[in-house]
Structure 1
Amino acid sequence: MEELLLSRRSFLETALLTAPLVVATESQSMAPALAKPLPVRLSCNLYSFNEPLTKGQMTLEEVLVFCANLGFAAVDPTGYYFPNYPTLPDDAYVYQIKRRAFRLGLDISGTGVRNDFTLPDSNRRKAEVELVRKWLGFASKVGAPVLRIFAGTGKKLSSSYNREEVQKWVVDAIGECTTYAAQQGVMLVLQNHADFIRTADDVLGVIRQVNSDWLAVNLDIGSFKIGDPYAQIAQVAPYAATWQIKENLFVDGQEVATDLTKIMQIVGQSDYRGYLPIETLGKGDPKTKVSAFYEKVKKAVEAVG
């Protein structure tokens, strides 16, 4: 046995001495390997469970377990599913949910608030900015990289206010919020919601006027209700930091089933890398609806590649 070990040692020493020495140049050692685009991952926007969550039929933790078991990589819980909204929840509860998601293998892909920057009263708008500021801190604590916000409904405006004036309110308020966003390391994402913002040009107009690295788009495919939604989705897609994929969208104002293949092609062409939150609406058991739509979106993602 001793002779065999000596023989093996002798062979290894000879091989090391005679092997050619390969020295990588600095450029070779530092050059990254060519990477393929990461596949998108599916998240569940928890508005899909709005009724059971708001009626106490399911707890937030129970929804997390369902989403994890179904196969989602992440969840997107809006702020009003936490106790006492719009008051911030206790840190202990926030960290409990964060820990539960982590243990289930779920990321928190985003969260959101209800806000309205189209209110005519400047003091009310300041209060809305403060609301967003507070919930940016919450997003940071819960581990959400983005906070969804709205421009506003525009419902309380009289004919004495023109669109340019109201848009300035919106731009100024969001601009102020981006300062807080940078401090918390959380991006603001403006959702098109068929309210003050109705078209691709509307949402991009605000994005370009604010002109902040901390502002992007939450692309809601079901809220372009004028004209061709696919053309508008493609127009906005390069500015999206997150999405809302819905079962239906509106073609010239008529609600039709979403062509998921076409949507995934737009996602791919925009070079988007990140989460695609899905959201189901309407009547029916959300567990059944979410399960069915999850499978459809998953197949579309796989088919497009």
Structure 2
Amino acid sequence: MSQLPASRRSFLKTVSASIPLVTTAGIHPVAAPKPDPVRLSCNLYSFNEPLVNKTMTLEQVLTFCAETGFAAVDPTGYYFPGYPALPDDSYTYLIKRKAFRLGLDISGTGVRNDFTLPDPTRRKAEIDLVRRWIGFAAKLGAPVLRIFSGKNVPEGHSRPEVARWVVDAIGECCRYAAQEGVMLVLQNHADFIETADQLLDILKQVQSDWLAVNLDIGSFKIGDPYAQIAQVAPFAVTWQLKENLFVDGREVETDLTRIVRIVRESGYRGYLPIETLGKGDPRQKVPVFYEKVRRALQG
């Protein structure tokens, strides 16, 4: 290799000496902000009327939710054809693929059940219903299946007796849910479960890692809902945020700032499904409530 002329070597040394030495000492990369561990999902009961009336298909609702900005959807089981019978696997997988192609996760699904029925044969049928839909949830890719306790205390029976029916039925379902890798989430629904204490008592009696809470903020209708929501929040693995809740039985607009504070303080990580109720076109109502919740999360 040829050597540089002496004059050029001298020039390069002079230039190099005049350039300040740049080091990375004391310079630290800017840390990227951590993603918010809470994301928004849409409980598709918000579209109950158009889905039941067949003015919108489930596929159209998924597209609408994706365009609105949701990260996930929660399609309740009874919006699938044939409910309470299971839909064909081909349709289940079509919806699963549709959601995936739209960039939507499936945050959960749900089933109607009643474990407060006095007839043991009918309660067994309700257990079988939940078991079938646990399998459906696994195929759909839903991590949780929403269930209910039941409607009320039947005439001629006591609450402790009915609570035992509920606990035994849920316990049996949990054992099957563990085999399928799907969590059961018990929803407070102002029915057999009216208060936070009643909800947590059932969880305590079942004692299963595969049972948690679907926290429905609009269904504590006795006393202070915010106190009860805060009490239950540490046990929630999914929620239902609603436009209104009940303070001492009186329906009022939800204080979303207060709800978000409870969510944050509980350490919750996961999806917050929103659900709009009442009259009005969900294609108008859902985006409005979505924006309100989104802003509350950013505040």
TM-score (norm 1): 0.87
The answer on whether the counterparts of 1:192 and 1:219 sit within 8 Å (CA) in structure 2 is: yes
Q: 2:208 aligns with which of 206, 212, 215?
A: 212
C-alpha distance after superposition, 1:145-171 (max 9, x if no partner): 00000000026x11x201000000000
Conservation of the 8 A alpha-carbon contact between 1:200 and 1:235: yes
Name the structure 2 match of 1:286. Answer: 282
The reply to whether residue 250 of structure 1 matches residue 246 of structure 2 is yes
Opposite residue 199 of structure 1, the aligned amino acid is T
Identity among equivalent pairs (%): 75
Q: Deviations over 1:181-201 (max 9, x none)?
A: 001000000000000000000
Q: Number of matched residues?
A: 272
Aligned partner of 2:9 in structure 1 is none
CA distance in 2: counterparts of 1:289 and 1:180, whole angstroms: 38
Q: Secondary structure at the match of 2:212?
A: strand
Q: Unaligned stretches of 5+ in structure 2?
A: 5-30
Alpha-carbon offset, residue 78 of structure 1:
0.4
CA drift at 1:3: 8.6
1: distance between equivalents of 2:2 and 2:79?
Answer: 71
Residues 215 and 2 (structure 1), Cα distance of their counterparts in 2 relative to 1, 3 Å cut? farther
Counterparts of 1:38 and 1:232, CA distance in 2: 25
The alignment status of 1:161 with 2:183, answered yes or no, reads no
Report Cα offsets for 1:52-89 as digits up to 9, x if no partner. Answer: 00000000000000000000000000000000000000
SS in 2 for 1:105: coil
Q: Check 1:296–1:127 CA distance in 2 against 1; reply closer, same or farther (3 A cut).
A: same
The 5 A counterparts of 1:146-225 are: 146-154=144-152, 157-158=154-155, 160-225=156-221
Q: Which amino acid in structure 2 is aligned with residue 198 of structure 1?
A: E
**Matching of residues 19-58 of structure 1 within 5 Å:** 38-58=36-56
Contact residue 37 and residue 273 of structure 1 kept, 8 A? no
- Residue type at the aligned position of 1:240: A
CA distance in 2, matches of 1:3, 1:278: 74
Aligned-partner residue type, residue 218 of structure 1: N
Write out per-residue CA displacement over residues 100-122 of structure 1, whole angstroms, 9 at most, x where no aligned residue. Answer: 00000000000000000000000
Cα pair distance change 1:3/1:260, threshold 3 Å: farther
1:126 aligns to 2:124 (yes or no): yes
Distance 2:270 2:41 in 1: 10
- The letter of the residue matching 1:46 is L
Distance 1:51 1:2, change over 3 A: farther
Q: Does 1:136 align with 2:142?
A: no
Tell me if structure 2 keeps the 8 A contact 1:244–1:277. Answer: yes
- Report Cα offsets for 1:237-289 as digits up to 9, x if no partner: 00001000000000000000000000000000000000000000000111110
Structure 2 counterparts to residues 4-19 of structure 1, below 5 A: none
Deviation at 1:39, TM superposition (A): 2.6
Aligned to 1:229: 225
Counterpart residue type for residue 183 of structure 2: M
Tell me the TM-score normalised to structure 2 length.
0.89
Q: CA deviation at 1:234?
A: 0.1
What one-letter code is carried by the residue in structure 2 that aligns with 1:100?
Answer: K
Cα distance change on mapping 1:125 and 1:293 into 2, 3 Å: same
